[in-house]
Amino acid sequence: MKYATKKEKQQVKGGQLDKRDGRLVYSTGSVFDVSQTTATQKDLPQIFPNKWIDGEVENYSQLRQGMEAIDNVQIVEPYEELGAAKGVSYTGRGEVALNPRNSERQDTKTLLHELTHAKLHTKDNMNDYTKPEKEFQAEMTAYTVASYFNIDTSDYSLDYLHHWTKDHEFKDHESLLQEVQSTAKEFITTIEESLDQEKEGEKTMSIKEQKHEVEEKQEVEKLPSEKLQDMYRSQVSKAEKDSGPFGKEEKAEEEYSHQDFKDAYKKELMNFIEPTVGKELDKEENKDRQERLNQMRSFQEAHSKEEVYQLKKESLQELKELPLTDRGEQRLSQIENKLDREFNEEKEKESTTSEMKSGGNKEASQQKEKQKEKIEIER
């Protein structure tokens, strides 16, 4: 009616002309999220509802190790492009992932947020909470823990909390806050323990250097982490005398063996299950980690999945013989469960593909037999 003439409007009013409702049409186009551009936080409008946090965090690597030490949750690479999302919690897998475009401050806040989801909102109880309740708990916990370690996220967290609490009623506000409090306390305790272990490890290294300068013959009582290192070294030397990643003599160039792969795999695991010990062993090894990873990758590509799986299982079994901490044992168990699960899933996938191929070959064979019979009949 907006563009109808005066005469047409009179005809519509008199019922002489039919009236049709208009349509709202959307066209497709290509756009970029601000996180995919070179824009900085200063370029963003203050009213932008989901702006990214910029900035570095003091002692970020130590703090990150502390967050990685939180039980029953693994930090993995994202399985898909996250776009504007800062992170994701894979419910049911016990895994979380971060957007690689995050800054250190954004990573810290988001990792705490996703870890809270993984801890509180599992596949067994996720339907017990509404979406606003889950987001409130995750962000409140992240804000509390970050503030405890003097990381200010208020410019992001307060807007986020306001968005998810405005015009929403929570069934049991007190219960939600109690879960936030207990989760924040658990996270803080775990992170502080990890930071203390890091400081103790650095102190131990300093003491060892001083003792070495004064008198090598003097015996000193070894810390549990040092005993673990010694047992790890002796375990490696059993397989290959006077060599391996911690031998003082340089290893001659030779073919990358099964034992080399196991030693490298165990070294990678030690960095995850016992970070303090793994870090010190890394310094002793004085070898480029990327080179080690490349060698492992080449070995896996040149050998069957069954063979690689068996070598990894043997490595895990050998690590179980070491005096690991409780947290180290839990992490090792998580890794083994994930390894078994992925291997079995791959086998099932291959089995299904093989059956489909077998069925196709059988059908083709039957078609050939029928064609043969037809030719014989025609003859």
Tell me the C-alpha distance between 172 and 11, whole Å: 60
**pLDDT for 220:** 42
Q: What are the pLDDT digits (tens) for 20-38?
A: 666 778 888 888 776 787 8
Would strands 95-98 and 87-90 be described as parallel, antiparallel, or unpaired? Answer: antiparallel
Sequence-distant (≥ 6) Cβ neighbours of residue 189 within 8 angstroms? none
Sequence-distant (≥ 6) Cβ neighbours of residue 1 within 8 angstroms? 9, 12, 19
Regions of the chain short of the pLDDT cut 50: 47, 215, 217-223, 241-253, 374-379
Count of Cβ atoms closer than 10 Å to residue 87 Cβ: 22
DSSP 243-292: -STT-SSPPPP----HHHHHHHHHHHHHHHHSHHHHHHHHHHH---HHHH
Q: What are the pLDDT digits (tens) for 123-142?
A: 888 889 999 999 999 999 99
Virtual torsion, Cα 240, 246, 252, 258, nearest 10 deg: 50
Q: Residue with structure tokens 């409140």?
A: 140
Would strands 87-90 and 74-76 be described as parallel, antiparallel, or unpaired? Answer: unpaired
- Residue 254 has, within 13 A of its CA and on its CB side, a CA count of 9
Q: Quick one: which H or E segment has residue 89?
A: strand 87-90
Does the pTM surpass 0.95? The reply is no
**pLDDT for 268:** 83
